[in-house]
Amino acid sequence: MDTIVADELKMPRLPRSTHDYVALEALYGATNYKPLDVVLSRGQGVWVWDVDGAKYLDCLSAYSAVNQGHCHPRILAAMMEQAQKLTLTSRAFRNDQLALFYEEICAATNTHKVLPMNSGAEAVESALKLARKWGYEVKGVPEGQAEIIVCSENFHGRTLTIVGFSTDPVSQRNFGPFTPGFRVIPYGDADAFEAAVTAHTVAILLEPIQGEAGVIIPPDGYLRRVRDICTRRRVVMILDEVQTGLGRTGKLLAEEHEGVEADLTLVGKALSGGFYPISAVLSNIEVMDVLKPGEHGSTFGGNPLGCAVARMALRVLQDEGMIENAAVMGERMKAGLAAIPSNRVREVRGRGLMLAVELHPDAGGARDYVRRLQSLGVLCKDTHEHSIRIAPPLVITGDEVDWAVDRFAQALREA
């Protein structure tokens, strides 16, 4: 950065423009993200506004963390009310929100036991620990030999163990050595899964739909076959629903589309409606009950503020018809995108309001189209070079869907 600009930014003044904020981030922040140069300052429902006053339709929803829409008033009220009473006790003491959160999320998801955490990655790490412990203490796998099967193109978080079984070279480069005990198989191939199972296999971890990979939907019946194999071979089925869960695909949990129940289901992101980091491992009794006091925990996991927020976030999803709206609006948006006459589009795919437009390789990079959409008032995210991810809040209306589709058509014409 130019020395004069850097010196000016160090002066105690309030940044006023997009340029100011971007320059400050470049000066002081880690460069582990490459966001669009839009600086958002306000949000309501499906709409967000930047510091220069421009308005955008949010088609990312903070990677599905704001399924309920930005700044949902009922969740905001629940957070404000609880914040004035009690925010944190640690798990050394009980609080009056945790048990109610347990009861309500178990009723909504047909779950037996819950382990509350804070982030999606923490939920994944917790599930891996649970599966290994179950494998040693219940299945009888020899100590130190437990194996967990994962899928290619997976995305489960950024912690060291998780990136160790990623197939994305950027996620792994110069971060090793990695945790052993993981085996990678192709996603969507149930035969490959069964062939990979051994006497030491304790679990399979997978996403019902692979989000970061570009909204990759497995073949019909895949999850049912995985469930059947897990039951027959005594393997814990772990479904990472941090992105797919809580209404995103038109069901409360994406596993419902195939009528299966995982042994461990991981939820996060929209569990707070975007107000507060909270995640959870939803488990059957057999797996969860291997965990004993002192073996796992989190100072903030299950805190009263997070639990109060999560209770309301779940409530508004269900009683305001957001899950049903995701199914209807998702079909409308998918059909609208597929009907755009463009030889640049290779495929439109998705389930509910979890969608992707995949471009032909010779159509140019998806990032260029995303920037064009930004200039037209739509914010979304490119992934895997040629795919555009689309995931608006579940409160989107038909008119807003049609408006967004029109902008996609314009971007494809003008790019």
Give yes or no for residue 8 having a pLDDT over 80: no
pTM of the prediction? 0.95
Cβ proximity of 384 and 214 under 8 Å: yes
Which residues lie across from 239 on neighbouring strands?
Answer: 206, 265
Strand pairing category for 264-267 and 279-283: antiparallel
- pLDDT score for 262: 98
Nearest to 59 by CA among 384, 357, 358, 322: 357
The 3 state secondary structure assigned to 131-142 is HHHHHHHHHCCC
The contacts of residue 33 (CB under 8 Å, 6+ apart) are none
Give yes or no for residue 245 having a pLDDT over 50: yes
* 301-351 tens-digit pLDDT: 999 999 999 999 999 999 999 999 999 999 999 999 999 999 999 999 999
Cβ proximity of 274 and 66 under 8 Å: yes
Cβ proximity of 247 and 270 under 8 Å: yes
pLDDT band at 260, cuts 50/70/90?
A: very high
Determine the Cα–Cα distance for residues 368 and 203; give it in Å rounded to an integer. Answer: 40
Determine the Cα–Cα distance for residues 281 and 263; give it in Å rounded to an integer. Answer: 10
- pLDDT score for 408: 98
Taking all residues of the chain, what is their mean pLDDT, rounded to a whole number?
A: 96
Residue type, 264: L
* Catalytic residue, candidates 269, 334, 382, 408: 269
The contacts of residue 94 (CB under 8 Å, 6+ apart) are none
The 3 state secondary structure assigned to the chain is CCHHHHHHHCCCCCCCCHHHHHHHHHHHCCCCCCCCCCCEEEEEECEEEECCCCEEEECCHHHHCCCCCECCHHHHHHHHHHHCCCCCCCCCCCCCCHHHHHHHHHHHHCCCEEEEECCHHHHHHHHHHHHHHHHHHHHCCCCCCCEEEEECCCCCCCCHHHHHCCCCHHHHCCCCCCCCCEEEECCCCHHHHHHHCCCCEEEEEECCCECCCCCECCCCCHHHHHHHHHHHHCCEEEEECCCCCCCCCCCCCHHHHHCCCCCEEEECHHHHCCCCCCEEEEECHHHHCCCCCCCCCCCCCCCHHHHHHHHHHHHHHHHCCHHHHHHHHHHHHHHHHHCCCCCCEEEEEEECCEEEEEECHHHCCHHHHHHHHHHCCEECEEECCCEEEECCCCCCCHHHHHHHHHHHHHHHHHC
Nearest to 147 by CA among 135, 137, 159: 135
* Catalytic residue, candidates 58, 101, 133, 155: 155
Asked if 269 is an active-site residue, the reply is yes
* 96-122 tens-digit pLDDT: 999 999 999 999 999 999 999 999 999
The contacts of residue 225 (CB under 8 Å, 6+ apart) are 190, 193
Give yes or no for residue 215 having a pLDDT over 90: yes
Domains of the chain: 34-64+321-414 (3.90.1150.10), 73-319 (3.40.640.10)
Rg (CA), the chain: 22
Give yes or no for residue 80 having a pLDDT over 50: yes
Asked if 240 is an active-site residue, the reply is yes
Percent of the chain clearing pLDDT 90 (strictly above): 95
Give yes or no for residue 9 having a pLDDT over 60: no
- pLDDT score for 11: 54
* Catalytic residue, candidates 50, 101, 133, 240: 240
- pLDDT score for 5: 52
User: Which phi and psi (to 5°) does residue 80 adopt?
Assistant: -65, -40
The contacts of residue 189 (CB under 8 Å, 6+ apart) are none
- pLDDT score for 221: 98
Over residues 157-168, the mean pLDDT reads 97
